[in-house]
Structures are given as structure tokens and as C-alpha cells.
Structure 1
């Protein structure tokens, strides 16, 4: 029963209130890129760049939260629909794309069903599937030299585990609204005692001080930051919060602070560090 309730809440968090969002594709030029996996499965991603830009040296790989099944539809060079329109990373991606950074938003492999399971997201298979897609992107866009992972909520399972399987593949990983309470009911046990030093790549946490979701507490993020020496950038404020605690339109999804959070992510990707430990 609790699992069913959590699924309902998280589905709502990523799909509801889409009509209240600005056009998330404004100023972007986008295309779907797909590679074949084993049997009939495919791995797809949405490749986005700032309109008119080219020769990007950096790729930000965005991994959305629950259920992490993206299923984008593109027409006339922009995404027109997705199952995750409300997700923080998806609705805010236009704030990250610039002349230096291209974006690849990752779907779950095509045979996943309605949920990209936590066990799959923590697996070497997940890394291999995403890596095949990244290789195809780099083949088409050979100026890309650095690849950064950016996960949010459930997607931080992938952004945490993937560098452990391929430490040289990623320049760094940024975990936003990360899963910090793996022992909580219906949480993701794969992250119990996860060692954030294993990847060898720089990592960063961005977390709202008042994140109300019981799976993603700020105190948990602070404990992880202190234990493993991972920088923590704390977000304050926001506006127009609504919905249940794990909803993408509460502090959990940085409502009202999307621009500032994405600017900080850009700063980390461009410099490998963050000047500030707080976003106010």
C-alpha cells in the first residue's frame, strides 16, 4: 500500500501542472538520438542545444527523477511532449544550454515499462546502455570533450552509480535533490552505504534546505557531504509551492529557483567547482 501511494505521489510530481510551465523548449534546437541495444530494445535521448550554437566542448547528461521514463516526442526541432513534463531538469533545461554546453536528456531503455527500476539504474547494464548513446552523440558531435552527469531525485541513483563502472567516462557528477534516505520506507536500498568516493570523478550535491520529501532530506545530504567530502550547495527560497512533499513543484523540485540552480550547475560544469555554497 505504501509503495502504491509513493508511486502515485511521484508520478504526480513529474507530470502534473504542466500547463503552468513556460515553454521549456524556448530557444532550443532539439533532436532525438537512438541506438539499438540487445534484442529489440533501444536507448533514446533528447539532444538539445541553444539555437544557433555549435561546436560544444561539453555535454550535460540529464537523468530525470521518478519514474525516469521520459518518452519524448520531437517535432520541428523541439520537444512537444513527454511523460515527465514537470520534472525539474526537463522543465529547466533551457537555462543550462549555451554556446559551451550541449544537453542530452536520458530516457530509460525502451523495454523498461512504466518505471525505470532502481536495480537497473544502479547496474552496469544501465551504464553500458547510456554509454552507447553518449558514444553516438560524440560521433555526431566530435567537438564534445567533457561529459557531466546531472541527476535529480530517483535519477541520482544513476548519476551515483554510473561513474563507478566507467570512472574515465565522466568529468564529474552533480546530484540534485538526491536520494539521501535509503533506509526509509519504500526507498531505494541500492544506495545503502554507497561510497561517493568510488567514482574518482568530482561530485557535487545541490539540495534545498527545506526539501519536504522524506526520501531526500537536506540533513541527509549534509551527512553524506560531511562523510565523503562532497561539496553541498544549499538552496533557499522559491515560490508557488504546491502539491505533495515529493512533488516536483515543491522545494524538492526547486520551484521558483530553477534559473539560479541551473546557473550553478553551469558554473560547476564550466569550472569544475562552485564559488558559492548557498543559492538564495
Structure 2
């Protein structure tokens, strides 16, 4: 799908529509976020990303799925995830999903995708277009380049938040020991939960898609837990 967003700009996303859906999710991949989705649905980059490769598992949970790409005026999302332009692009996708399906829309990010999901949620807090919920997986907890999630205006949030992490995540920006700071920043009035996973297989870059960071080998369990949490809200 390509929909108009800012003047002269379109936003592309891959859409999955299961029958009798209960909610919709927008999936934000990590890295530079430039998935380069082709007209036939193939991915030019990022097909192995945890959320991207698990998209069918989300649909099997009864969720309409929008795997979001970069907008047409950018080569990627590096340095762009915490901008008004990114908020406008995601807002356009949320509005489109709500108009088409009349369902609650959740933002689901992984790794650097959590910086997108969390920033958009904070930017739209109190707005009519605010997302209905937020899921953060392998959250960016520390970062010297772009503001990490715990440093965002999380106190503005008034929506359910699920945090999902692997107890052996080896990524330098996502150390499990930093999770307490994130949970403490989320308002106590929120419906919030931290779910830790173990097991699976790790290989390659500890910040990569097939390390513990990417829930390699336990995708079905992780997505099943996320899906159940979303539909129970």
C-alpha cells in the first residue's frame, strides 16, 4: 500500500488482513528502517528483522498488520525517527487503518524501531490520533546518537504499554540491567507489563536479527504473548 502523507510524499507499508481481526498493529523494524518494500511485497532490506519475519505470526493472532517502510522522500529512517515528519507519516497510516477497519491501532517496535514507536506515542499523547497501545521489544535503553526510549517524555503516555525483552540480550544499547529505568519512567497509572524471555538461539552480531536480541528461535512464543496481551486490553 502507498498512501499520501505530507505534501508530495507517500508512505508505503505491507498489509496483512486476517479474517475477523481484533486489532491492528503497525510494525517498526530496527536498523535504518529502509525496508525498500517492492511492488510484489518482497523486501529489499530487513526481511530477517524479528518483526518483519514474524509478520504472519501477528496476523495469525487475529491482528491486521502494517509493516511500515521509509517514506518516499527518504532513503531510510536513521536520524529521522524522532521528527515531526515521521509522526505525520505514522499518523497517516493510523488514520488509514482506522478508516478501513474500525479497529484499535497499536504501535509495535523492535530495537531502533522502539525509538519510532515510543516517540510517535509521546508526540501524539492526548491527541485524537493517539495510538491505542504500545509494544516495545528489545528496547533501545541507552544511546549516544539518538535519544533512547527512557529519555523520552514517557510521563505523557496514557495508554497500555507492553515491554518485551530477552534476558540474555547482548546488544550494548539494550542491556537488560537498564530495564528498571524504563519501567520506572512509565507512569504508575498505566496498564503496563514487562515480559522477559529466555531460550532460543543466538548467532552473529549481538545487536542483530538472529541473536537473542531478535528472539531467534522463539518467535512464535514471543508473538503469541504479544498478541494475547493486545487483544485482552
Query: What TM-score results when the alignment is normalised by the length of structure 1?
Result: 0.75
Q: How does 1:6-45 map to 2 (within 5 A)?
A: 33-45=1-13
Q: Does 1:129 align with 2:89?
A: yes
**1:94 alignment partner, SS class:** helix
**2:105 alignment partner, SS class:** strand
**CA shift digits 1:236-279 (9 cap, x unpaired):** 1102x21111111000000011001100110111012xxxxxxx
**CA shift digits 1:140-164 (9 cap, x unpaired):** x23x320000000001111111112
**1:121 alignment partner, SS class:** coil
Distance between the aligned counterparts of 2:67 and 2:154, measured in 1?
23
Match of 2:173? 215
Match of 1:195? 153
Q: How does 1:5-154 map to 2 (within 5 A)?
A: 33-50=1-18, 53=19, 55-75=20-40, 79-98=41-60, 100-113=62-75, 115-118=76-79, 120-139=80-99, 141-142=100-101, 144-154=102-112
Distance between the aligned counterparts of 2:4 and 2:165, measured in 1?
35
Tell me: CA distance 1:123–1:156, structure 2 relative to 1, closer, same or farther (3 Å): same
Compare 160-169 and 57-66 and name the one that shifted more.
160-169
1:177 to 138, 142, 162: 138
Unaligned runs of 5+ in 2: none
Tell me: CA distance 1:237–1:123, structure 2 relative to 1, closer, same or farther (3 Å): same
Query: What TM-score results when the alignment is normalised by the length of structure 2?
Result: 0.89
User: For the aligned residues, what is the CA RMSD?
Assistant: 1.9
Please identify runs of 4+ aligned residues in structure 1 that moved more than 3 A: 37-40
Distance between the aligned counterparts of 1:210 and 1:117, measured in 2?
26
Aligned-residue offset at 1:138: 3.2
Aligned-residue offset at 1:74: 4.3
Distance between the aligned counterparts of 1:226 and 1:98, measured in 2?
33
Aligned-residue offset at 1:131: 1.4
Distance between the aligned counterparts of 2:22 and 2:150, measured in 1?
35
Distance between the aligned counterparts of 2:87 and 2:143, measured in 1?
21
Q: Is the 8 A contact 1:182 1:191 kept in 2?
A: no
Q: Is the 8 A contact 1:182 1:192 kept in 2?
A: no
Q: Is the 8 A contact 1:205 1:231 kept in 2?
A: yes
Match of 2:213? 252
Distance between the aligned counterparts of 1:67 and 1:224, measured in 2?
23
**CA shift digits 1:115-158 (9 cap, x unpaired):** 3123x21123211111112322333x23x320000000001111
Unaligned runs of 5+ in 1: 1-32, 273-280
